[in-house]
Structure 1
Amino acid sequence: MLKNSKLFKRLVTTTLAVSLLIPSASFADTKVESVDSIQRNERLPLTKMKEFRGKVIDSYQKRHKRLISIVEKYAPEDLENWNSLFEEHKELREELKELRTRIKEIRHEKRNKKKQEIKKFRNELRSKVEAGEITVEESKDKFQKYVEEIKGNRQERREELKAKLQEKREQLKVEREKAKEVRQKLKEAIKADDTEKINELLDNIYIHLKKRIDFLKEKIQAIKERLEEIQD
């Protein structure tokens, strides 16, 4: 979302500045260079994010195996519930990944279509300026209004969704810190072979994982709503 917003903003700014004053061929070169520059600048953080996600998944899988082995030993009667919980989490992660892929595809399609619409409108304004029907300043004003119409109130909706998810992230951050303390206590309880304490701590971890799953469900629902919106 943010990536598309930045790209669109850069495209609009460049267009306003030079489209009506510089020949089309020259403007095309400038636009391509601008887009390429944006893409180069965004490759590094995107790569880092993928690497981070990979580490998170690897860490999660190791923790998953470790927890299951502990449950098998100290709470075998709860093993089915734990396996169901992890399976649900896995399915939700896969669904989230598919939704993100679909949104990316639709954004790409809409972005290309939007570029063509902007280019057409820009050329129409340039023709009117060259014909003396409107001034450069009038064309800029018309173009800005055109852009605002395209954008609509998307930014406001994005900010609302962002604020809602950020609130959930903050809550999960607190929960993660608590879970970290619980895991440390679990290690100590296992070392002491304290079955009662281990089961108590396993219950706490189970509740934490349920909260993470609830957050995933909310996130998926938000993305589905966004998907319906951008398909309109």
Structure 2
Amino acid sequence: MKIKPIVIATGLVVPLSLFLFNNIDKENSLADEHTSKHQDTHAVIIKDVATKEVNLQQKVAVPVHRSPNPEVDELALYTDEKEKKWREPRHVEEVWVDINPSDTLDKIKPKSSAIEAIKAIEFSNVPEFKALNLGDKLTLNLPDDSNIDIEVESNEFQNEGIRTWSGNFTIDDQSYPVTFTFGSSSILGFIGHPSGPIKIEGRGRTAWIYEVPDSHGYDY
């Protein structure tokens, strides 16, 4: 008679254990499912943020158009760099003005007494004058107060920072040369005028412009 309660108790314990284990498994399964959903949600958020960041970068980035030919791209890049430095040709109408020579300018005045047509000048803008380049035009006033219109053909750097630009002017359908050379502070110019060569010699912003006399064998 005592065995029966034990059997009954055993019969109750087994189903209860199974219920508890099943319940624990369900809770674990729910926890795993919740964790998985949380991880999936987190991954979706990260992906969404990354997508938005990429879209933002695409909006900010400057589009680059590539041609099928790499050589064309290199040429375009080279052309772009050159265009940055390019500018429209300009016309400088007043390069210098007449002045009374200073004591400093008197010290570099040509010494020859044979020079008759000579005057002191001051450059309006030395950096601009020095930087004149291909296609630029300028008007120069000569010692006899006549003017010539010059077109610049080249501007080149030489050794030790010396810079030279060359051009020409036309009189009676004939072309004549003009050359200016710039050192750190000195300015030397030559105008091949048909009436006789003209020189410009100066330092800083001031210079002498004079007609070279026909006589030779002396120091100007």
Q: Scaled by the length of structure 1, what TM-score is found? A: 0.19
Structure with greater proportional strand content? 2
Which gives a bigger RCO, structure 1 or 2 (Cα 8 Å, sep 6+)? 1
Structure with greater proportional helix content? 1
Larger Rg belongs to: 2
